[in-house]
């Protein structure tokens, strides 16, 4: 089979992007709804720093913490996608068959569809929040935007996106074995939300939990990019964090391919 070029996958990304564009108003209302949690957290931290009597907690000043919780939302834009849901749905409905007989790689189809969603989120939600965060830091605290930090953030967030994509792809393949993925999806969301540090920085976890999390891919999704943005990971430390991300991309990517080849042999499509 002749290998399809990257160009033949672009329409998949464009398709998702455009269909999202047509539900703009609803989309933004949902974003506002989701942000209520972040604002509640904002006020909790405000009270915590007032009550703690110290300027920094686990190395985070109040200013760092505000930046942290909002930048987590930006990083989340890179890793909030439904690859597992798409794969699971297509397996269940049998429509996966159509994608299997085409001379294209299924993995790439899903990747590009998700990419359309991620680019949309990053453009219309992530970047505005990033600009507001930088603006507030500059105008009310005199902290100039750190361009290297921003570049590092984007690089690291893209790695986070790839890790999550493969993680999700593997997860979606479980639909070949289990028929309902909805509950599992909710469970996965909850676990990732907490263990990736998007609710509270990993430093606030007890020591034993930090030791365990160091061997898991969750840190790499949200925590690493945000720490790079904050300048808490610098120089060699930032390079090391990025290399750990590369390791996870490779490990999960290779496992995904192997599991896919195994799962596809098991596939039975009902009806014609």
Partner 1 sequence: MKRFIRLYTKLSAQYLKTLLEYRTDFIIGLIAFFFIQGFGIAFLFMVFQNIPNLNGWSFYEVLFIYGFANLPRALDHLVTDNLWILAGRIIVRGEFDKYLLRPMNPLFYLFADRFQPDAFGELIVGILLVVTALTKLSLHIGLIEIVGFIIAVLAGAVIYTSIKLIFASLAFWMKRSQSILFVAYQMANFTKYPMTIYNKVINIFLTFIIPFAFTAFIPASWLLGRESFAYGVLATCGVAAVFFAGGYALWNAGLKSYESAGN
Task: Tell me which residues touch partner 1 (CB under 8 A).
Answer: 25-26, 29-30, 32-34, 36-37, 39-40, 43-44, 46-48, 50-52, 57-58, 178, 180, 182-184, 186-187, 189-191, 193-194, 199-200, 204-206
- Which pair of structure tokens corresponds to residue 147? 């361009």
Least spacing, CB of residue 159 vs partner 1, in Å: 24
> By C-beta, is 138 or 194 nearer to partner 1?
194
Cα separation values, 178 from 89, 112, 174, 188, 207, Å: 12, 25, 6, 15, 36
Backbone dihedral angles phi then psi of residue 217, each to the nearest 5 degrees: -80, -5
SS (H, E, C) 77-108: HHHCCCHHHHHHHHHHHCCHHHHHHCCCCHHH
Least spacing, CB of residue 194 vs partner 1, in Å: 4
> By C-beta, is 50 or 265 nearer to partner 1?
50
> By C-beta, is 30 or 247 nearer to partner 1?
30
What is the spatial distance between Cα 224 and Cα 240, in angstroms, rounded to a whole number?
Answer: 10
Least spacing, CB of residue 243 vs partner 1, in Å: 28
Least spacing, CB of residue 222 vs partner 1, in Å: 14
Least spacing, CB of residue 168 vs partner 1, in Å: 16
> By C-beta, is 38 or 129 nearer to partner 1?
38
Ranges of H-type helices in the chain: 10-21, 24-52, 62-79, 83-93, 96-101, 106-121, 127-141, 147-173, 182-195, 207-213, 223-230, 236-266
> By C-beta, is 30 or 138 nearer to partner 1?
30
């Amino acid at each position: 089979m002749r290998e399809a070029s990257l160009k033949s996958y672009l329409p998949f990304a464009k398709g998702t992007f455009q269909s999202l564009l047509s539900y703009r108003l609803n989309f933004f209302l949902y974003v506002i709804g989701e942000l209520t949690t972040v604002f509640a957290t904002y006020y909790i931290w405000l009270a915590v720093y007032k009550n703690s009597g110290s300027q920094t907690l686990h190395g985070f000043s109040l200013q760092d913490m505000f930046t942290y919780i909002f930048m987590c939302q930006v990083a989340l834009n890179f890793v909030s996608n439904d690859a597992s849901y798409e794969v699971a749905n297509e397996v269940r409905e049998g429509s996966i068959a159509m994608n299997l007989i085409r001379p294209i790689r299924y993995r790439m189809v899903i990747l590009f569809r998700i990419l359309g969603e991620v680019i949309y989120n990053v453009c219309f939600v992530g970047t505005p929040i990033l600009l507001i965060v930088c603006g507030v830091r500059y105008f009310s605290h005199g902290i100039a935007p750190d361009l290297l930090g921003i570049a590092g953030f984007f690089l690291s967030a893209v790695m986070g996106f790839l890790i999550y994509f493969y993680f999700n792809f593997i997860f979606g393949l479980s639909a070949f074995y289990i028929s309902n993925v909805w509950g599992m999806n909710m469970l996965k969301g909850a676990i990732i939300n907490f263990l990736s540090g998007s609710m509270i920085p990993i430093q606030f976890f007890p020591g034993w939990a930090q030791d365990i999390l160091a061997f898991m891919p969750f840190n790499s999704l949200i925590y690493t990019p945000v720490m790079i943005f904050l300048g808490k990971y610098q120089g060699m430390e930032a390079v090391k964090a990025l290399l750990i991300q590369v390791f996870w991309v490779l490990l999960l990517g290779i496992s995904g391919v192997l599991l896919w080849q195994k799962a596809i042999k098991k596939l039975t499509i009902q009806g014609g």
